[in-house]
Structure 1
Amino acid sequence: MSIDPAKLQMFENRLQKVFKHTSKIARRQNITCYRVYDDDIPEFPFSIEIYEDHVYVAEYQRRHGMEEDVHDAWLDECLVKIAQILQVTEDAIFVKQRVRKEDRQSQYQRVAQEKNEFIVQEAGLKFKVNLSDYLDTGLFLDHRITRSMVREEAAGKKVLNLFCYTGSFSVYAASAGAAVTSVDLSKTYLAWAEVNMQLNDLTPAQHQFIHADVLQYLDTLKLNTFDLVILDPPTFSNSKRMKEHLDIQRDHVDILNKVLLATKKGGVVYFSNNYRRFILDEAQIAATSIKDITNQTLPFDFQQKMIRKCYRIVK
């Protein structure tokens, strides 16, 4: 069974149009890693991202009603079309199936051992990405602008990066001359963050990499320590390694107030999360200023999809 030609043509037209538009902007802005498609047509539930010479295709799991062999043939046909339009060979495409989740806890699960790792560039910095072994690649492209904002104000500052993942925010801050403390529950990702530091000729020993449950770690922080904090937690987390379950809507006030206690007066917290229905309880947060910067931090390749909220909070 092959795809309905009319539907495949719809997909082809859409991908071609978006790729033409986004690739032009990317070239103009000297960006080599960007998203070109995100579930635009329901019958083709893909997220498609370009990482320089490679393409990462994530298929969101849906009840498509196809037998496994029929689905495989359908996917193969789609990939041929994607390769043609994006002008890459089929062996440069990496495919994963994923459930659309609003939390990032699943990022800790290794899904393969292929180690298809590459070094990519962003804003003059280098990052290792892995397009085969985890549900995420190692670089969240939607925070490209937020990372630059952090770099612009990080010089000479003490920076705390909570739920640091592979440390891309840490690298941006360190490259500006900040002393950075990176905290995550995963030793794998902390080691990855150190590699990212080394790739940019930054010395990991000059920074701190702390393996900890962030919710417990917050209770150990000293008052008025940090100038700048990055807080990008999962929406929900019930990892067995965490003492408490995390629900960002329920817990954000408590978490932010603990973070603000550890922040110097006038210090800044960049807080983001992926919960689509998130509502910030401003009245309960001990800050002098809270600004919703979601729109100004959404890059050109994510304009159509409001995928997360982002705030700049001043103590």
Structure 2
Amino acid sequence: MSDFSAFFNRLHKNARHWGKWARRQSVTCYRVYDRDVPEFPLAVDIYHDHAHLQEFDTGWKMLDDEYALWVAAARQHAAEALDLPLQHITYKLRARQRGESQYEKTGAAGDDFNVEEGGHRFIVNLDAYLDTGLFLDHRITRRMVQERAAGKRFLNLFAYTGSFTVYAAAGGASESVTVDMSNTYQDWSKRNFALNHMDLARHQLVRADVFTYLDHAVSVGKKFDLIVMDPPSFSNSKKMQGVLDVQRDHPRLINACLQLLAPGGELFFSTNLRSFKLEAAELKSGKVQDISARTIPEDFRNKKIHYCWLITA
């Protein structure tokens, strides 16, 4: 069994530091540990009074019984370092994500609970799915969308649980369309909208493959003033036209969005693919700004958690 003292000490120290920071920022969901000690390749996120531990697959091999003991010890030490009940510590192995893995159930039911961010409320579930319902690394990006949304027609593509739309509506968006192909996440978005008292007559949910939606929207001449697009790195879902590869397909996706933008409209495009290279030469006319450094929150500052561009029509 590993000596967990280095993990405990670092997590306890980090939790004190980031807890003070979070209180100053009025943030209740934030990262406190990200593979700080190489022998413990975990990311630890706080969601109000719960903690979400993700183990990154390093290829290390353990016997099943030994691994079960290691996981149990990691949970116990995290609970003690964070001063949380053991039952509030969720543990997941995050293998390389392929296809629809983010949509797959983990086999645990888990409980939904509400958290607050930026004055808004969101439903999270730390157990039932690989992802929790709220991507913490886009906290600043969501705020930037809210600041731009007043009077705008907003489009949210690959919308997951609709958090960007909640921010846009709070910022005064005149209408919105939220597109995702998952029934699970469209229902989750609808519950987030209700939780934030959004008018569903003005904020439309569309279950569709994004490629199909974009083709149709361009063909009928739809226009938007503000678009957010945060695709998965890869998807081979049977619900899609084909296989999505964000490196290969991003020029097509971005160019379709540019056709939908009204003059002066803006597109936020982001990806978590570490090896991603933006093919700017393949994009249609538009001003492209790399705003990644501005959108990565302080609690993620030591990791290249995502890339983000602001593209103006």
Mapped to 1, the partners of 2:136 and 2:47 lie a distance apart of 10
Mapped to 2, the partners of 1:224 and 1:289 lie a distance apart of 21
2:226 equivalent in structure 1: 228
Q: 1:73-84 to 2 correspondence within 5 Å?
A: 73-84=69-80
Q: 23, 26, 31: which is aligned to 1:27?
A: 23
2:259 equivalent in structure 1: 261
Give the TM-score taking structure 1 as reference length.
Answer: 0.95
1:125 equivalent in structure 2: 120
Q: 28, 39, 42: which is aligned to 1:43?
A: 39
Q: Which moved more, 1:55-64 or 1:243-252?
A: 55-64
1:277 aligns with 2:275: yes
Deviation at 1:206, TM superposition (A): 2.3
Deviation at 1:211, TM superposition (A): 0.7
Mapped to 1, the partners of 2:50 and 2:153 lie a distance apart of 36
Mapped to 2, the partners of 1:146 and 1:20 lie a distance apart of 26
Deviation at 1:60, TM superposition (A): 2.2
Q: Deviations over 1:272-307 (max 9, x none)?
A: 011111111112212331100101000011101102
Q: Mind listing any 5+ residue stretches in structure 2 that lack a counterpart?
A: none
Q: Deviations over 1:243-269 (max 9, x none)?
A: 111111111111111110011010000
1:161 equivalent in structure 2: 156
Deviation at 1:224, TM superposition (A): 5.7
Mapped to 2, the partners of 1:76 and 1:107 lie a distance apart of 24
CA pair 202-104 structure 1, distance change in 2 beyond 3 A: farther
1:314 aligns with 2:307: no
Deviation at 1:113, TM superposition (A): 4.6
Amino acid at match of 1:132: D
Mapped to 1, the partners of 2:99 and 2:145 lie a distance apart of 21
Percent identity of paired positions between Structure 1 and Structure 2:
45
Q: 212, 224, 244: which is aligned to 1:216?
A: 212
Amino acid at match of 1:129: V
- Asked if the contact 1:60–1:99 (Cα under 8 Å) also holds between the matched residues in 2, the reply is yes
Mapped to 2, the partners of 1:105 and 1:267 lie a distance apart of 31
- Asked if the contact 1:223–1:263 (Cα under 8 Å) also holds between the matched residues in 2, the reply is no
Q: Which moved more, 1:45-54 or 1:112-121?
A: 112-121
Q: Which moved more, 1:38-47 or 1:297-306?
A: 38-47
Over the residues paired in the alignment, what is the CA RMSD in angstroms? 1.4
Give the TM-score taking structure 2 as reference length.
Answer: 0.95
Corresponding pairs, count? 310
Mapped to 1, the partners of 2:285 and 2:7 lie a distance apart of 47
Deviation at 1:104, TM superposition (A): 7.6
Mapped to 2, the partners of 1:198 and 1:88 lie a distance apart of 30
CA pair 150-104 structure 1, distance change in 2 beyond 3 A: farther
1:296 aligns with 2:294: yes
- Asked if the contact 1:105–1:234 (Cα under 8 Å) also holds between the matched residues in 2, the reply is no
Deviation at 1:13, TM superposition (A): 2.5
Mapped to 2, the partners of 1:219 and 1:134 lie a distance apart of 30
Q: Deviations over 1:154-209 (max 9, x none)?
A: 01110000000000001100112211100001011011101001101112232111
- Asked if the contact 1:145–1:297 (Cα under 8 Å) also holds between the matched residues in 2, the reply is yes
CA pair 9-115 structure 1, distance change in 2 beyond 3 A: closer
Mapped to 2, the partners of 1:157 and 1:60 lie a distance apart of 39
Q: 1:137-152 to 2 correspondence within 5 Å?
A: 137-152=132-147
Deviation at 1:22, TM superposition (A): 1.6
1:69 equivalent in structure 2: 65
1:305 equivalent in structure 2: 303
Deviation at 1:63, TM superposition (A): 3.0
Mapped to 2, the partners of 1:48 and 1:225 lie a distance apart of 40
Mapped to 1, the partners of 2:284 and 2:306 lie a distance apart of 23
Q: SS state of the match for residue 201, structure 2?
A: helix
Deviation at 1:223, TM superposition (A): 3.3
- Asked if the contact 1:270–1:310 (Cα under 8 Å) also holds between the matched residues in 2, the reply is yes
Q: SS state of the match for residue 40, structure 1?
A: coil
Mapped to 2, the partners of 1:214 and 1:167 lie a distance apart of 15
Q: Mind listing any 5+ residue stretches in structure 1 that lack a counterpart?
A: none
Q: Deviations over 1:202-242 (max 9, x none)?
A: 12232111110101111001436000000000111111211
